[in-house]
């Protein structure tokens, strides 16, 4: 599996849910959790197909390596603050094999809790939303809307991701000025643009340019050392940058996105590694939010809820994302048990059986329990 690749062909459900989203890591983490969970092979196979992984074992092995690298927090030595938290919540009456508990706790470092979806689903929904809000520093709120979990919910897989990084070279706020931003409609809007006269990591390609702005990495990292980005870097040398892909034409974004989606290794092959002199240099400040609300994953029993936000200013960037994959039942076992009636107030059959061998010792009919001689 190549965790940074784009799918070359359309797959049902899962790709439909995430192909237009800007954030990926939280989505993929939650989907990896769901693929490894006790929900049966059909959902797992669909997720594995999209992630280009041959098995959940391979997926889990790759994820385990990425956890120590991508999600390592470098804030103690001055680098970016990064937190990624996983959670699994399962209806407390469902029987779950201990191997799943071990997998989620040891591989995914996920909180594994039994909860009462059956009789207290609304309370659990509120608790899950608080979990997502707490682990994204308040940036993601009310991810699960009312009705998203119910007495039929069997399990929920979740991920919360938070990032805060300072630019290696901050922008001077006194240079920030309102300028026009051209829209695809042909009109424009006035927004604040950050500017700098310092050399930048920029490279021009056929039809577009790429800008790389490094984040302050901490005392133990050389920002020029970890290129090309074709191999996973050591956890102690994680390097983070923000990339801007700017088409030459005002309406060239669609073509650029198609090229990214269909060209293997596109991102790795378009990385500016040298600073250049700049003439006009402006990038807009922005704050955006986006998400998915109950997207069908191609299976009637599963739905995806996702929110993400990204904000950049003169100091740096902060971003957060949270994802819940809600399953209506852990199909490998059974749906959450339903209350049923058993009132033996009419004729019935009985038997006494030895269960290990299946040997029936006694069998009879009860037509009139008041007739002791029947």
Q: What is the DSSP string of 303-358?
A: EEEEEEEEEE-SSEEEEEEEEEEEES-BTTTBSPPPP------S-EEEEEEETTTT
Among positive and negative, which fits the CA dihedral 272, 273, 276, 279?
A: positive
3-class DSSP state for residue 130?
helix
Note the pLDDT of residue 230: 28
**Please, what is the end-to-end C-alpha distance for the chain in angstroms?**
70
- The dihedral through the CA atoms of 92, 97, 99, 100 has a sign that is negative
Residue 41: give the domain boundaries: 14-166+288-327
Residue 333 lies in a domain: no
Q: Report how far residue 302's alpha carbon sits from residue 183's, in angstroms, rounded to the nearest whole number.
A: 37
Asked whether 264 and 283 are in contact (CB, 8 A), the reply is no
Residue 66 inside a domain? The answer is yes
Same domain, 136 and 193: no
Gap between the Cα atoms of 5 and 350, Å rounded? 61
User: Which helix (DSSP H) or strand (DSSP E) does residue 205 occupy?
Assistant: strand 200-205
Cβ neighbours of 48 (radius 10 Å): 21
- Say whether the peptide bond before residue 228 is cis (omega within 30 degrees of 0): yes
Any domain includes 272: yes
Cα dihedral value 331, 112, 296, 44, nearest 10 = -60
Residues 6+ apart with CB under 8 A from 322: 26, 132, 135, 136, 140, 143, 158, 159, 160, 161, 306, 307, 308
20: domain CATH number is 3.30.497.10
> Which stretch of DSSP H or E encloses residue 125?
helix 117-134
Which CATH number do you get for residue 235? Answer: 2.30.39.10
208 and 105 in a common domain: no
- Residue 344 belongs to some domain of the structure: no
Both 91 and 178 in a single domain? no
Does one domain contain both 66 and 153? yes
User: Does residue 264 sit in the same domain as residue 292?
Assistant: no
Tokens representing 32 are 């990896």
pLDDT number for residue 196: 92
Of 286, 302, 318, the position where a domain reaches its end is: 286
Cα 280 to the chain's mean position, in Å?
Answer: 37
Instruction: Compute the distance between CA of residue 322 and CA of residue 130 in angstroms, rounded to an integer.
Output: 11
**What is the chain's pLDDT, residue by residue, as a tens digit (374 residues)?**
332 323 322 233 334 333 434 445 565 565 555 555 555 444 455 545 544 555 555 555 555 555 555 555 556 666 788 888 889 899 998 877 676 676 677 666 777 889 999 999 999 999 999 999 999 999 999 999 999 999 999 889 899 988 888 999 999 999 999 988 989 888 888 899 999 989 999 989 999 988 988 888 766 444 444 433 322 333 334 578 889 899 988 888 889 888 988 998 888 888 888 899 888 899 998 888 878 887 665 555 778 899 988 889 999 998 888 999 898 755 444 343 344 455 455 665 554 434 434 433 343 556 676 665 44
Q: Is the distance from CB of 265 to CB of 272 less than 8 angstroms?
A: no
Same domain, 131 and 20: yes
Kindly state whether residues 161 and 193 are assigned to the same domain: no
In a domain, residue 131? The reply is yes
Same structural domain, 280 and 293 = no
Structure pTM? Answer: 0.71
- Which helix (H) or strand (E) element contains residue 89? strand 81-91
Same-domain check for residues 123 and 98: yes
User: What total number of domains does the chain contain?
Assistant: 2
Q: Is residue 79 part of a domain?
A: yes
Sheet holding 200-205, edge to edge: 241-247, 208-214, 200-205, 275-276
Q: d(Cα 146, Cα 123) in Å, to the nearest integer?
A: 11
CA distance 241 to 163: 12
Distance CA 171, CA 189 (A): 22
Torsion angle of C-alpha atoms 146, 147, 148, 154, degrees rounded to 10: 130
Residues 295, 281 share a domain: no
Residue 361 resides in a domain: no
| Strands across the sheet containing 316-327 | 110-115, 81-91, 155-166, 316-327, 302-312, 286-296
Residue 110 covered by a domain:
yes
Q: Are residues 274 and 184 in the same domain?
A: yes
φ and ψ at residue 175, rounded to 5 degrees: -90, -10
């Amino acid at each position: 599996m190549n965790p940074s690749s784009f799918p070359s062909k359309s797959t049902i459900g899962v790709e439909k849910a995430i192909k237009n989203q800007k954030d990926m890591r939280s989505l993929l983490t939650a989907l990896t959790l769901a693929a490894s969970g006790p929900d049966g092979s059909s959902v797992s196979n669909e997720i594995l197909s999209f992630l280009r992984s041959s098995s959940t074992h391979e997926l889990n092995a790759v994820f385990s390596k990425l956890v120590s690298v991508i999600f390592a927090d470098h804030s103690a030595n001055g680098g970016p603050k990064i937190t990624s938290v996983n959670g699994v919540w399962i209806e407390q009456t469902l029987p779950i094999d201990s191997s799943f508990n071990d997998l989620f706790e040891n591989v995914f470092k996920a909180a594994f809790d039994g909860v009462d979806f059956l009789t207290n689903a609304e309370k659990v929904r509120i608790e899950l939303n608080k979990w997502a809000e707490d682990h994204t520093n308040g940036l993601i709120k009310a991810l699960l809307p009312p009705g998203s979990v119910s007495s039929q919910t069997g399990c929920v897989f979740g991920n919360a991701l938070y990032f805060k990084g300072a630019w290696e070279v901050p922008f001077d706020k006194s240079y920030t000025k309102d300028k026009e931003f051209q829209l695809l409609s042909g009109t424009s809007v006035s927004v604040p643009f950050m500017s700098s006269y310092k050399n930048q990591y920029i490279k021009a390609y056929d039809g577009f340019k790429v800008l790389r702005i490094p984040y302050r990495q901490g005392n133990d990292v050389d920002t020029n050392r970890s290129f090309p980005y074709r191999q996973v870097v050591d956890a102690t040398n994680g390097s983070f940058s923000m990339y801007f892909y700017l088409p030459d034409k005002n309406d060239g974004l669609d073509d650029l996105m198609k090229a990214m989606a269909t060209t293997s290794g596109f991102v790795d092959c378009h990385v500016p590694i040298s600073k250049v002199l700049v003439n006009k240099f402006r990038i807009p400040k922005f704050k955006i939010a986006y998400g998915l609300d109950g997207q069908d994953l191609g299976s009637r029993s599963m739905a995806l809820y996702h929110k993400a936000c990204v904000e950049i200013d003169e100091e740096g960037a902060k971003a957060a994302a949270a994802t819940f994959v809600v399953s209506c039942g852990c199909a490998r076992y059974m749906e959450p048990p339903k209350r049923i009636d058993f009132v033996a107030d009419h004729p019935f059959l009985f038997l006494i059986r030895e269960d290990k061998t299946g040997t029936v010792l006694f069998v009879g009919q009860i037509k009139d329990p008041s007739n002791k001689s029947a």
